[in-house]
């Protein structure tokens, strides 16, 4: 297994995504344990982008339950349809939130969080987890984050299926 991730120097966000996605794919293909892989993916995203908070919530019965993450302490359980994460689960769609205060029902795990993107992972038409990324800056995520993080969730879901 690779012990480090190669990141191009002075790279744009897009260049970083392009560099890390194949490396993540290789990293997770050599490990079958889901939690080990989610933990490493959180670490790689934190290292590459220094996100304020990045991590996974996993669908367990009627709730999302906190999984591997990097960043400050977070809420452990989120109900279906609640908050940004529960909405991504319910609508089965990425939620790009430029200002969390303007999102009805946003769950503030940390008052420092200002913008957020949540991407559902889908296997056989069912959401099995969400990836949540928070920033302490307003409007910090764009269509590029959406495109590449959705690709990442497809890679993870493909591997989860096999
Ligand atoms: N803000 C999320 C809750 C999770 S934390 O941000 C880590 C939400 O509204 O679902």
| Dist. CA 28 → ligand 1 center (Å) | 25
pLDDT for position 63 = 98
- What's the mean per-residue pLDDT of the chain? 95
Q: Could you say which architecture CATH assigns to the domain 13-161?
A: 2-Layer Sandwich (3.30)
Residues 6+ apart with CB under 8 A from 118: 84, 85, 87, 88, 94, 95, 97, 130, 131, 132, 133
pLDDT in tens, 15-25: 999 999 999 99
What is this structure's pTM? 0.96
| Dist. CA 9 → ligand 1 center (Å) | 31
Q: Does residue 66 line the site of ligand 1, with CB under 6 A?
A: no
pLDDT in tens, 45-73: 999 999 999 999 999 999 999 999 999 99
Q: How far apart are CA 70 and CA 102, in angstroms?
A: 25
Domain segments of the chain as ranges = 13-161
pLDDT for position 85 = 98
Q: Does residue 53 line the site of ligand 1, with CB under 6 A?
A: yes
Atom of ligand 1 nearest to the CA of 106: 9
Q: Does residue 75 line the site of ligand 1, with CB under 6 A?
A: yes
**Residue 58, strand partner residues:** 65, 129
Q: Does residue 95 line the site of ligand 1, with CB under 6 A?
A: no
Q: Does residue 71 line the site of ligand 1, with CB under 6 A?
A: no
pLDDT in tens, 119-147: 999 999 999 999 999 999 999 999 999 99
Is residue 156 over pLDDT 80?
A: yes
- Cβ(85)–Cβ(118) below 8 Å: yes
pLDDT in tens, 94-121: 999 999 999 999 999 899 999 999 999 9
- Complete edge-to-edge strand list for the sheet that includes strand 53-60: 77-79, 63-70, 53-60, 126-135, 115-123, 95-97
Nearest residue (by CA) to ligand 1, atom 5, is 109
Distances (CA, A) of 28 to 54, 58, 83, 137: 18, 18, 29, 30
Nearest residue (by CA) to ligand 1, atom 3, is 107
Atom of ligand 1 nearest to the CA of 74: 7
**Residue 123, strand partner residues:** 126
What spatial distance separates the first Cα and last Cα of the chain, rounded to whole Å?
Answer: 19
> What is the DSSP secondary structure assignment for residue 109, as one 8-state letter?
S
Helix (H, G, I), strand (E, B) or coil at 82: coil
């Amino acid at each position: 297994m690779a012990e480090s991730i190669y990141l191009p120097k002075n790279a744009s966000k897009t260049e970083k995504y392009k560099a890390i996605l194949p490396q993540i794919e290789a990293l997770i293909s050599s490990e079958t344990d889901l939690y080990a892989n989610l933990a490493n993916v959180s670490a790689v995203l934190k290292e590459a982008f220094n996100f304020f908070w990045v991590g996974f919530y996993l669908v367990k019965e009627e709730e999302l339950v906190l999984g591997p993450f990097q960043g400050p302490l977070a809420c452990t359980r989120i109900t279906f349809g609640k908050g940004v994460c529960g909405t991504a689960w319910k609508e089965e769609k990425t939620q790009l939130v430029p200002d969390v205060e303007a999102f009805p029902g946003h769950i503030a795990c940390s008052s420092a969080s200002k913008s957020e993107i949540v991407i559902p992972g889908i296997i056989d038409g069912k959401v099995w987890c969400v990836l949540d990324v928070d920033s302490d800056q307003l409007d910090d995520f764009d269509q590029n984050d959406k495109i590449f993080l959705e690709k990442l969730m497809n890679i993870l879901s493909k591997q989860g299926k096999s």
